[in-house]
């Protein structure tokens, strides 16, 4: 068989040259557009189910929430393993599928299973939600926000309501988590003496404040052939206006407001659940997680572009730092080192062949065969939906000696 291939190649030299040039062009084009990563994705298709159970102990969460979810997904199609972790007020279930399972199909299967257990969960348990679609190597960037003038409370607000939505709109981003800073909230500090004096209970205050800042509809007013939509504009960001909200009426129809029974102010949520810093300076951090089969380098460039646009609209004293952690930097450094070793190894093989065999033809054949074989290997990686990474390039470097 090999003799026939060699004989056919010798009789059709021009066809072989054209095929080699065509493979080289396609290989270079494919290599420039393939996903580049540090390691191949070693995570089986996994769907994460998260459930909040406020006020429940870990044992109760395990028995009434986690066990119910595990039982529902255990018999799902193509499920190979189910793991879980239960803590106070929170349940996490990892559902692993077979390697050849499409992740979107896996998420659909889990969603269908979860829809059947809504009645089996306790009433005070939140709806089970699916975690972001990412892998163990998905965390690709940490962004830091620092300022000398803006408070940590405002930094956290800017991070959650301005920067995070913008980053999530970038294609390939699975999740953006905000760490550190103070969470802004409107606080009503009740006075027990005033409540007792005015005859107001805490439940009455809770009922009055539940929908106090929500706009409402008042129907339609018809006048002179026109329609006027009536709206109650109650939404406000002013603590003083909230303090004027009515809790109840006295027997003589006098309003009792929040200001009469306590103090309304804007403050930081307590207790603080996390603290972040950058170079010893208090900061707010955003961790960006990418989706599967997304190029880390291309996504990093897209995020840099988004952040540069955001910087123009933020206060000038706010600094955005992207050098805390960048997976793309490690990828570029690792790939460059292996590529350099690959080129040096190929040249060393050619030099050894030339000095030991003293044959220019053999050396020329090696010079052509080595890069052509590497480009064909890249095409095979593309056809198998694999990425260019340190392991694949390392295997190519080792295979050069066997090739010659």
22-54 per-position pLDDT tens digit: 988 998 898 888 878 777 777 788 999 999 988
Nearest CA to 277 out of 146, 136, 370 is that of: 146
Q: Average pLDDT for residues 366-373, to the nearest whole number?
A: 81
Residue 133 φ/ψ, nearest 5 degrees: -85, 100
User: How far apart, in whole angstroms, are the C-alpha atoms of residue 186 and residue 176?
Assistant: 25
pLDDT at 166 over 90: yes
User: How far apart, in whole angstroms, are the C-alpha atoms of residue 116 and residue 69?
Assistant: 10
Which CATH number, 3.30.2090.10, 3.90.550.10, 1.10.260.40, 1.10.10.10, labels domain 185-268? 3.30.2090.10
Is-contact 285 179, C-beta < 8 A? yes
Residue 136 confidence class, pLDDT cut points 50, 70, 90: low
User: Could you give the residue ranges of the DSSP H alpha helices within 238-326?
Assistant: 239-243, 258-261, 296-313
pTM score: 0.75
> Are 46-130 and 185-268 in the same CATH fold?
no
User: Could you give the residue ranges of the DSSP H alpha helices within 127-191?
Assistant: 152-158, 164-168
Is-contact 315 147, C-beta < 8 A? yes
pLDDT at 374 over 80: yes
Element containing residue 354 per DSSP (H, E): helix 327-357
pLDDT at 318 over 90: yes
User: How far apart, in whole angstroms, are the C-alpha atoms of residue 296 and residue 141?
Assistant: 9
Q: Pick left, alpha or beta for residue 326 (phi over 0 → left; psi -120 to 50 → alpha; otherwise beta).
A: beta
pLDDT at 89 over 70: yes
Residue ranges of E strands in 164-298: 173-179, 184-190, 216-223, 226-232, 246-249, 255-257, 262-268, 276-278, 281-290
> Which residue ranges make up each domain of the chain?
46-130, 185-268
DSSP string, 25-41: HHHHHHHHHS-B-SS--
Q: Average pLDDT for residues 312-327, to the nearest whole number?
A: 91
Tokens representing 169?
């709109």
**Beta strand pairing call for 184-190 and 262-268:** antiparallel
How confident is the model at residue 83, as a pLDDT? Answer: 94
Q: Average pLDDT for residues 5-29, to the nearest whole number?
A: 86
How confident is the model at residue 68, as a pLDDT? Answer: 93
Report the SS3 class of residue 90.
Answer: strand
User: How far apart, in whole angstroms, are the C-alpha atoms of residue 337 and residue 343?
Assistant: 10
pLDDT at 124 over 70: yes
Residue 401 confidence class, pLDDT cut points 50, 70, 90: low
Residue 323 φ/ψ, nearest 5 degrees: -100, 5
How confident is the model at residue 393, as a pLDDT? Answer: 80
- Average pLDDT of the chain? 86
Q: Average pLDDT for residues 247-263, to the nearest whole number?
A: 88
Residue 3 confidence class, pLDDT cut points 50, 70, 90: confident
> How many percent of the chain have pLDDT more than 70?
99
pLDDT at 404 over 70: no
User: How far apart, in whole angstroms, are the C-alpha atoms of residue 210 and residue 114?
Assistant: 30
Burial 336-349 (b: 16+ CB within 10 A, else e): eebeeebeebbeeb
Q: Which residue has the tokens 């040039």?
A: 21
List pLDDT tens digits, range 206-234: 888 887 777 777 788 888 878 888 887 77
Sign of dihedral through CA atoms 139, 130, 123, 121? negative
Among 89-98, 244-253, 302-311, the minimum mean pLDDT is found in 244-253
Q: Average pLDDT for residues 71-96, to the nearest whole number?
A: 92
Residue 352 φ/ψ, nearest 5 degrees: -60, -45
Residue ranges of E strands in 17-109: 46-52, 79-87, 90-97
How confident is the model at residue 17, as a pLDDT? Answer: 86
Sign of dihedral through CA atoms 131, 133, 137, 140? negative
Which CATH number, 3.40.47.10, 3.40.605.10, 3.40.309.10, 3.30.70.1430, labels domain 46-130? 3.30.70.1430
User: How far apart, in whole angstroms, are the C-alpha atoms of residue 383 and residue 110?
Assistant: 29
Residue 239 confidence class, pLDDT cut points 50, 70, 90: confident
Helices (H) and strands (E) in the chain, counts: 15, 15
């Amino acid at each position: 068989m090999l003799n026939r291939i060699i004989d056919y190649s010798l009789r059709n030299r021009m066809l072989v040259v054209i095929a080699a040039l065509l493979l080289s062009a396609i290989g270079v084009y494919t290599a420039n557009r393939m996903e580049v990563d540090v390691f191949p994705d070693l995570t089986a298709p996994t769907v994460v189910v998260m459930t909040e159970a406020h006020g429940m102990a870990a044992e109760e969460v395990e028995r009434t929430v986690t066990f119910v979810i595990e039982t529902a997904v255990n018999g799902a199609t193509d499920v190979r393993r189910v793991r879980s972790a239960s803590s106070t007020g929170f349940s996490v279930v990892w559902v692993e599928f077979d390697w050849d399972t499409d992740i979107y199909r896996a998420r659909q299967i889990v969603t269908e299973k979860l829809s059947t257990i809504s009645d089996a969960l306790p009433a005070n348990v939140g709806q089970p939600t699916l975690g972001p679609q990412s892998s163990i190597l998905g965390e690709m960037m940490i962004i830091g926000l620092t300022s000398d003038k803006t408070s940590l409370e405002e930094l956290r607000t800017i991070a959650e309501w301005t920067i995070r939505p913008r980053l999530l709109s970038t294609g390939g981003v699975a999740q953006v988590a905000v760490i550190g800073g103070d969470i802004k909230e409107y606080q009503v500090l009740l006075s027990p003496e005033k409540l007792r004096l005015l005859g107001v209970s805490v439940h009455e205050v809770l009922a009055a404040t539940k929908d106090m800042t929500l706009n409402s509809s008042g129907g339609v007013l018809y006048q002179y052939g026109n329609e006027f939509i009536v709206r109650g504009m109650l939404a406000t960001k002013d603590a003083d206006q909230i303090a004027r909200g009515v809790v109840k009426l006295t027997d003589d129809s006098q309003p009792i407001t929040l200001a009469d029974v306590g103090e309304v102010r804007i403050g930081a949520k307590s207790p603080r659940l996390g603290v972040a810093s950058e170079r010893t300076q208090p900061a707010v951090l955003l961790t960006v997680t990418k989706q599967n089969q997304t190029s880390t380098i291309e996504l990093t460039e897209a995020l840099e572009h988004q952040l540069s646009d955001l910087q123009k609209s933020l206060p000038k004293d706010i600094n955005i730092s992207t050098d805390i952690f960048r997976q793309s930097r490690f990828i570029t450094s690792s790939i460059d080192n292996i590529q350099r070793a690959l080129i040096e190894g190929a040249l060393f093989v050619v030099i050894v062949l030339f000095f030991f065999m003293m044959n220019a033809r053999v050396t020329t054949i090696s010079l052509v065969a080595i890069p052509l074989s590497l480009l064909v290997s890249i095409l095979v990686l593309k056809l198998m939906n694999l990425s260019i990474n340190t392991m694949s390039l390392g295997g190519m470097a080792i295979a050069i000696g066997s090739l010659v």
